Structure 1
Amino acid sequence: MRLKELKRFLKIQKVFLSYGLDELIPPERLPWTARLLRRSIFWWRNQHPDLNAGARIRLACETLGPVFIKLGQMLSTRRDLLPDEIAEELALLQDQVPPFCGKQAREQIEKSLNAPIDELFDEFAEEPLASASIAQVHTARLKDNGQQIVIKVIRPGIERVIDADLRLMQLVSRVLQRYLPIADLLRPVEVIEEYRKTLLDELNLMYEAANAIQLRRNFEGSEELYFPEIFTDYCDRNVLVMERIHGISVADREALVANGTDMHLLAKRGVEVFFTQVFRDSFFHADMHPGNIFVSYKHPHNPQWIGIDCGIVGTLSREDKRYLAENFLAFFNRDYRRVAELHVESGWVPSDIRVEEFEFALRTVLEPVFEKPLSEISFGHVLLNLFKIARRFQMSVQPQLILLQKTLLYIEGIGRQLYPQLDLWQTAKPFLERWMKQQIGPAALLHTIRDELPMWAEKLPELPNLIYDGLRTTRKQSKQMELMFERFSAQSKAQSRGRFYLGIGAAFLVASALLYPANLHLAAGSLVITLFSWFKGWRGLKRL
């Protein structure tokens, strides 16, 4: 461990101890050396004994800076792993980071694009428009057509900071894995590894560019959702250039109302575009918190959402989509038996569980929820309750479902903030029913045939040759099976003869032992026959 890393490690320890995070591990689970060290460092004891564990963890993350803040934000979405008290506190973490020098940003952009900024852009503003833990954004104009753009640039040296902190986090996670009583549930080593992969992906802005291009293509011409254009000629792993958008932050409800926005339609469209991304495209923006969502100033009576920061996306397989849609519809209809069966069919819970017990657990937890008016029921929290129940039945955590749950909670929270009377169930159910009709029945069959027809038209000329080759292969395999059967029969006969001779040899060996020493001649003859029989038996078995 280098000196800089050692200093950072000591600072982390000081912060952890000052906020009493060591108290989360019972003293009896610590080795005697750790207990002795804890008693000796009296000046680093818990300075906030009046706060609950969740608040202390949140404050420790804020003190330690951007990497720990992002870790806390990620953990806040893992309500399948954390107690509600801690998850709710971590959800309050705000990624507010002081900007770095605009001159450094200029140098980073010029280094990445191999050209002076003045040759590439006009009106480059060294004062950043926004700043976050990993990157910050500057405004400019394209040189050729004067279009307004924003330039997202990675913080200089942030890779070294992240690498050092991640290695220290991995060390701490291994300690927690060993000594924390609920380590089997929290799986700290796996969580940190998942976080490491996510964070390293965010450091490469080319991933974000590719995601944004795909999302823009999926909603091209849509009146409901817009993604800004990406200018790939100016993009690099450290620099992302995209169209500048002008909109109202979705968190600024007063400004939206002042602009005359149809709040009910806006909230309803938020739900619809989410389900469209999930079930139509199988590719959804998985970081749709209020800081990444805006509303266009234009046509407020026909409001359009604007999405940015596409570094994190989720994908679903065809099977996942089908089971999710059926699960949601079963929930709407309060068909808990079907929900339980779907979890077993999808492999999300072990196949040997008792479906009746799972159904009863679902009914016990969810039935009181449905006694409320639908407009008061949180769709996201119903999903959380489902995950908690399924965890009791050894449900394996599905990463794509965690991203889905996180995004759904964001969307539902934004929708109810914009229009408190929003009935998410009433909005989502018709969409899912239409989608299911498209997937099942004659229309779905015709759609599949239409999609597969070009492939079959291409393969049709090859079909006679494929049939002929298949028949030849089948005939050849039949002959091989006959030869194998004949060889097996011969081997079986040889094996039987070998065992017969071995048995004869054993019998004469016993006879020679009984005859010796009363009749030496007969004993010697029996022994000779024994040796001959064993030789014949050994040769027969050796041929196998």
Structure 2
Amino acid sequence: MPAPPPAKPPAAYRRLRPRHVLRMLRIARTFAKYGLDELIGAIPFFRPYAWVSRLVPFRNRVVRTHTHGARLRLAMEELGPPFIKLGQILSTRRDLLPEDIIGELSALQDAVPSFPSDQAAAMVERSLGAPLEESFLEFDREPVASASIAQVHRAVLPDGEVAAVKVRRPGIERVIETDLAVMFAFAAQAERYLTEARRLRFVAVVGEFAKTIHDELDLEKEGAHASQLRRNFHNNPVLRVPRIYWGHTTRDVLTMEWVEGLPIDEPDKLAEAKVDVVEVSRNAAEVFFQQVFRDGYFHADMHPGNVFVGPGNQLRVVDFGIMGILAADQRRYLADMLLAFLRRDYTRAAEVHLEAEYVPPDTDMVAFEDALRAIAEPVLDRPLQEISMANLLMRLFQTTRRFHMPTQPQLVLLQKTMVNVEGIARDFNPEMNIWLALQPLLREWMEEEKGPTRLWNELRQEAPEWNRLLPRLPRVTSAFLERAVNDELVLNLRGPQLDQLRQEVRAGIRRLAFTWTGATLLVAGAASALIPGLGARLGFPAWWLAAGLAGAGLAAILWSLVDRRR
């Protein structure tokens, strides 16, 4: 498949100012310093810079003593918070980068020195529109945590509630916007000169990063994420999500309930507190299942620093800047795919990918099934406690080039979450495999999704649309049939897709016939109930006829919906 044409950055990032050019030169110098010549030498403007950099003694020493991945990590650490964030996101993109670089980028830590407390206090006062003493009874000047976007202070609200106040770093938005413009410029130039950069869609990757980091900059949006997750687990005590204090929250300041708990990555403290590790493992599996499959809304940054254990082995989470969303059809396909892999039914696993349109329609399904077998067997043919579906999903991403599978950003986030949840469960209970524990839940959920309850819920959701379409249906159907009879319908057919299109057309005509028949019977039933004296002429109550016609009409419409689901 030929590489796509070079992409252009969004309009807001196309105009470069002097500060952008200076930043580009510093980035080029840093990459050259760490021997990353290929990242800048491919762009003609920077080639002289790359050639001269080879004469620098420090560069030659670093190249000899560090791997390529380690040098990339060091360069990103030196370039500051936006590049550290980019490196962390790239560490989840196993479809883009080799494993040695992924391992190094995974070690990037988003920890930077705190900014002065006076600046934090001024930011809070400006954002909340009141002196600090009016907004809080207490406000600890020393932050309890600091990262590239914001830092957290402990405070006490006027009603006595203890709160965590997250304050955005002053000036960080300008820094990030400058670096985003430079990243887009580098990506666009790379796509212009490198075929591989176009295939990997460098500009689109930077675009995904821009969306993620903009979400993290908006602390009010992070509060909305936390509120949604808290509402989802309102009746489930295994996970506690802190309450948001909206009266003390803005785009620059987020105030939430203070979370008490033991850090999940400190086993000595957990053992001293006599935490039930088996129950914590089960809770982690249950939390993952509800977030991903029942709700389709999951915390996408559940690394150990964001997870705590509270009384009763309850899990508690913080930091809601990155959330993943899975639509209902994505959840069904994911569950179907995981169950197929766990059963080692690679034919069904391949079919699921085709149905979900994760692979093109003209994919060689025999070859794809064989590739899935090669991906899964090394993962599944291990002791039960060592089976990792996160590892399987990672290996699946690595087949994207061969079968032209487009990257699914939400599945990339999900794979990262799976790694974290598997790690939590395995650290607490090495003998447990959460996927075997989840298998019955997945089967039960899939049966619910394909059962009558799901069908009834879909009918209720579609009722307003049917109410709008039914009065127009006779006229639209008549016009369609008239055009078909007069040979006025034009179909553009392609050879490889012809059989599939024929099947879809036949199925569409069949569904249309059932829908039209059902609608006609419903209208006839309603009309018969309104005709005066009809029952006397028929010799039985008119409502019998009306009910029979309406029942037959509903049955026909229901059949058309069931046929569509198949």
User: Does 1:40 pair with 2:52?
Assistant: yes
Paired residues for 1:208-227 under 5 Å? 208-227=222-241
| Cα deviation 1:177-210 (Å, max 9, x = unaligned) | 3445632443322111111111112111111111
1:445 is aligned to: 452
Q: Secondary structure at 1:146's aligned position in 2?
A: coil
Of 367, 373, 377, which residue of structure 2 is paired with 1:363? 373
Of 223, 243, 258, which residue of structure 2 is paired with 1:229? 243
Give the counterpart letter for 2:321 in structure 1.
G
Of 182, 190, 214, which residue of structure 2 is paired with 1:176? 190
In 2, the alpha carbon distance for the partners of 1:368 and 1:472 equals 58
In 1, the alpha carbon distance for the partners of 2:304 and 2:440 equals 26
1:426 is aligned to: 436
Residue ranges of structure 1 left out of the alignment (5+ in a row): 488-544
* C-alpha deviation, 1:454, in angstroms: 9.2
In 1, the alpha carbon distance for the partners of 2:340 and 2:149 equals 42
In 2, the alpha carbon distance for the partners of 1:481 and 1:391 equals 44
Residue ranges of structure 2 left out of the alignment (5+ in a row): 1-15, 489-566
Paired residues for 1:305-454 under 5 Å? 305-440=315-450, 444-449=451-456, 452=459
Q: Secondary structure at 2:274's aligned position in 1?
A: coil
* C-alpha deviation, 1:391, in angstroms: 3.6
Structure 1 contact 18–47 (Cα < 8 Å) conserved: no
> What is the TM-score of this pair, normalised by structure 2?
0.77
* C-alpha deviation, 1:470, in angstroms: 4.7
Distance 1:234 1:373, change over 3 A: same
1:19 is aligned to: 34
Paired residues for 1:86-485 under 5 Å? 86-143=101-158, 145-180=159-194, 182-296=196-310, 298-299=311-312, 303-440=313-450, 444-449=451-456, 452=459, 470-471=473-474, 477=479
Structure 2 contact 112–147 (Cα < 8 Å) conserved: yes
In 2, the alpha carbon distance for the partners of 1:392 and 1:350 equals 12
In 1, the alpha carbon distance for the partners of 2:431 and 2:106 equals 24
> What is the TM-score of this pair, normalised by structure 1?
0.80
In 1, the alpha carbon distance for the partners of 2:131 and 2:408 equals 46
In 1, the alpha carbon distance for the partners of 2:348 and 2:224 equals 38
Of 25, 28, 40, which residue of structure 2 is paired with 1:10? 25
| Cα deviation 1:456-499 (Å, max 9, x = unaligned) | 5x999x79xx8666556767x599879x9799xxxxxxxxxxxx
Distance 1:329 1:114, change over 3 A: same
In 1, the alpha carbon distance for the partners of 2:127 and 2:448 equals 47
* C-alpha deviation, 1:321, in angstroms: 0.9
Structure 1 contact 154–238 (Cα < 8 Å) conserved: yes
Of 35, 46, 69, which residue of structure 2 is paired with 1:54? 69
In 2, the alpha carbon distance for the partners of 1:37 and 1:98 equals 32
> Of the two, which has the highest radius of gyration?
1
| Cα deviation 1:125-177 (Å, max 9, x = unaligned) | 1111111100111111111x200001111101111111111111222222333
Structure 1 contact 20–47 (Cα < 8 Å) conserved: no
Distance 1:480 1:363, change over 3 A: closer
In 2, the alpha carbon distance for the partners of 1:30 and 1:479 equals 58
Give the counterpart letter for 1:220 in structure 2.
H
In 2, the alpha carbon distance for the partners of 1:14 and 1:176 equals 17
Q: Secondary structure at 2:399's aligned position in 1?
A: helix
The size of the alignment, in residue pairs, is 470
In 2, the alpha carbon distance for the partners of 1:257 and 1:14 equals 49
In 1, the alpha carbon distance for the partners of 2:279 and 2:205 equals 38
Between 428-437 and 101-110, the greater mean CA deviation after superposition? 428-437
* C-alpha deviation, 1:330, in angstroms: 0.4
Q: Secondary structure at 1:294's aligned position in 2?
A: strand
Structure 2 contact 379–388 (Cα < 8 Å) conserved: no
In 1, the alpha carbon distance for the partners of 2:129 and 2:146 equals 24
Q: Secondary structure at 2:97's aligned position in 1?
A: coil
Distance 1:474 1:413, change over 3 A: closer
Distance 1:336 1:469, change over 3 A: closer
Give the counterpart letter for 2:281 in structure 1.
A
1:531 is aligned to: none
Between 273-282 and 426-435, the greater mean CA deviation after superposition? 426-435
* C-alpha deviation, 1:45, in angstroms: 3.7
Paired residues for 1:526-541 under 5 Å? none
* C-alpha deviation, 1:348, in angstroms: 0.4
Give the counterpart letter for 1:384 in structure 2.
M
2:94 is aligned to: 79
Give the counterpart letter for 1:39 in structure 2.
W
In 2, the alpha carbon distance for the partners of 1:408 and 1:359 equals 24
Give the counterpart letter for 2:185 in structure 1.
L
Give the counterpart letter for 2:323 in structure 1.
V
In 2, the alpha carbon distance for the partners of 1:485 and 1:351 equals 32
Q: Secondary structure at 1:172's aligned position in 2?
A: helix
In 1, the alpha carbon distance for the partners of 2:161 and 2:203 equals 46
In 1, the alpha carbon distance for the partners of 2:426 and 2:481 equals 71
Q: Secondary structure at 2:398's aligned position in 1?
A: helix
In 2, the alpha carbon distance for the partners of 1:366 and 1:431 equals 22
In 2, the alpha carbon distance for the partners of 1:459 and 1:154 equals 44
| Cα deviation 1:6-45 (Å, max 9, x = unaligned) | 44333222211111111467x7x564x7544433342374
* C-alpha deviation, 1:371, in angstroms: 2.2
* C-alpha deviation, 1:218, in angstroms: 0.4
Give the counterpart letter for 1:243 in structure 2.
E
In 2, the alpha carbon distance for the partners of 1:93 and 1:227 equals 26
In 1, the alpha carbon distance for the partners of 2:445 and 2:401 equals 29
* C-alpha deviation, 1:393, in angstroms: 0.7
In 2, the alpha carbon distance for the partners of 1:277 and 1:332 equals 21
Q: Secondary structure at 2:235's aligned position in 1?
A: coil
In 2, the alpha carbon distance for the partners of 1:57 and 1:357 equals 36
User: Does 1:70 pair with 2:80?
Assistant: no
Give the counterpart letter for 1:342 in structure 2.
V
Structure 1 contact 284–315 (Cα < 8 Å) conserved: yes
Q: Secondary structure at 2:329's aligned position in 1?
A: helix
Structure 2 contact 379–391 (Cα < 8 Å) conserved: no
* C-alpha deviation, 1:394, in angstroms: 0.8
Structure 2 contact 375–395 (Cα < 8 Å) conserved: yes
